[in-house]
Amino acid sequence: MLIVVVPVIVMTLWFAWRFRASNDNAIYTPEWSYSAKLDAVIWAIPVMIVAGVGYHAWVFTHSLDPYKPIPSPEKTLEVRAIAQDWKWLFLYPQQNIAVVNELVFPAGAPLRIEITSDTVMNSFFIPGLGGQIYAMAGMRTELNLLSYEPGEFLGRNVQYSGAGFSDQLFKARAVNREDFDAWVEKVRTSPDALDLATYEQLVKPSEAHPVTYYASYAPGLFAATISKYNPFGTLAANSVCRVADLDRSYAR
């Protein structure tokens, strides 16, 4: 904006001084109508503004791409998030555990979240860590986040989705590596397992659902949720989500 503001201020002061009534040396040209040089300057300014804004928009939009992995010497934690009515289910494929309405991850390590929905469109958002991204049935979206130090953040759905929308909240906790390992072991002591029958009960609408731990979950659950609404979803998941790699990890 200074490209516009500064020349206008300078020219206003200069014109008032140069063409004052007492200046007999100012050239008076009442027949003047056009100057190619002046026209070039007038068009150059908006071109410079658009070029500058366009450059920054392009560069920083791509640098902040939610799909772009965050470089770090620490190992990336992978999580699958499934939006339901009215809760969030988090699957940890590397640990083979599942949690409702609580997201725990190591501070200082990248967090890669693959997101889908088993209901209407939701919007995944942890304001203290990064921007929101939509969760859609039959589709897969992704968000890469990083918390540099331990802390607790509020996560929620910000896309209105019905009666239980206002209580569709979860805690996102960044903890040190030792506390994360201890939390994983705590979840693994849960007597519950998220098999397909249990999942069918979980996916039913419920409001203000409490935090729930599952010591294990059915392999391929995330891909199956996508293919429920999209017959080509499994192919997309295998090529983009690397579900095939996850299935091999389950076998190990």
Joined tokens for residue 121: 């469109």
Instruction: Give every CB contact of residue 29 below 8 A, 6+ residues apart in sequence.
Output: none
The pLDDT tens digits of the residues spanning 32-59 come to 899 999 899 889 988 988 999 999 999 9
pTM value is 0.75
Task: Locate the domains of the chain by residue range.
Answer: 1-20+35-58, 77-251
| Residue in 113, 110, 121 with CA at minimum distance from that of residue 70 | 110
Q: Quote the CA–CA distance of 138 and 50 in Å, as a whole number.
A: 38
Going from the C-alpha of 182 to that of each of 94, 156, 217, 249, the distances in angstroms are 15, 25, 19, 21
pLDDT on residue 29: 84
The pLDDT tens digits of the residues spanning 60-82 come to 888 889 999 999 999 999 999 99
HSE value, Cβ hemisphere, 13 Å, CA-based, for 39: 4
In terms of Cβ atoms closer than 10 Å to its own Cβ (0-12, 13-18, 19+), residue 196 is exposed
Whether domain 77-251 has CATH 2.60.40.420 = yes
The pLDDT tens digits of the residues spanning 196-245 come to 999 999 999 999 999 999 999 999 999 999 999 987 754 444 444 443 34
